[in-house]
Chain A
Amino acid sequence: MPPIISRGFKGRRRDDAPPDRVPPGQYVTNDFPVLSAGPTPHTPLDQWDFAIVGEVDELHRWTWEELRALPSESVTVDIHCVTKWSKLDTAWEGVSIDTLLDGIETSAEYAVAFCDGGYTTNLPLEDLTGGKAWVSFGYGGEPLEPEHGGPARLLVPHLYFWKSAKWVRGLRLTTADEPGFWEQNGYHLYGDPWREQRYWGD
Chain B
Amino acid sequence: MAGAAVLGRLTWRAADVVGVATETPRVKTIAFDVDGWPGHLPGQHVDVRLTAEDGYQAQRSYSIASAPDGARIELTVERLDDGEVSPYLTDELRPGDEIELRGPVGGYFVWEPSRGGPLLLVAGGSGVVPLMAMVRRRAALGSDVDTRLLFSSRAWDDVIYRDELEGLNGDGLRVHHALTRSQPPGWSGYARRVDAEMLAEVGPAPSERPQIYVCGPTPFVEAVAEALVELGHEPLRIKTERFGPTGG
Contact = CB atoms under 8 A, between A and B. Distances in A.
Interface string A175-194: 00000011011100000000
Nearest to B5: A200
Contacts of A200: 4, 7-10
Given A31-B247, A39-B238, A202 B51 contact: no
Main secondary structure of the interface of A (DSSP, over half): loop
Contacts of A118: 235-236
Q: Which of the listed residues A35, A37, A117, A118 has the most CB atoms from chain B within 10 Å of its own CB?
A: A37
Contacts of B55: 3
A186 B109 CA distance: 11
A10 B51 contact: no
Nearest to B12: A1
A142 to B, nearest CB: 9
B14 A36 contact: no
Contact of A201 (B7, B88, B228, B247): B7
Given A200-B8, A201-B7, A4 B240 contact: no
B72 interface: no
A195 interface: no
B207 interface: no
Given A4-B51, A33-B245, A185-B1, A201 B106 contact: no
A5 B109 contact: no
Interface in A126-179: 145, 147-148
30 contacts: A1-B11, A3-B55, A3-B57, A4-B14, A4-B51, A5-B53, A7-B97, A9-B58, A10-B56, A11-B50, A12-B58, A13-B56, A25-B49, A33-B244, A37-B239, A38-B225, A38-B240, A39-B225, A39-B238, A39-B240, A40-B225, A84-B60, A117-B236, A147-B246, A185-B1, A186-B7, A186-B106, A186-B107, A200-B7, A200-B10
Closest CB pairs A-B (n = 9): A201-B9, A39-B225, A31-B245, A185-B107, A3-B51, A6-B50, A185-B108, A12-B84, A184-B1
Interface of A: 1, 3-13, 25, 27, 29, 31-41, 83-85, 117-118, 145, 147-148, 181-182, 184-186, 198-202
Interface of B: 1, 4, 7-12, 14, 47, 49-53, 55-61, 84, 88, 92, 97-100, 105-109, 218, 222, 225-226, 228-229, 235-236, 238-240, 242, 244-248
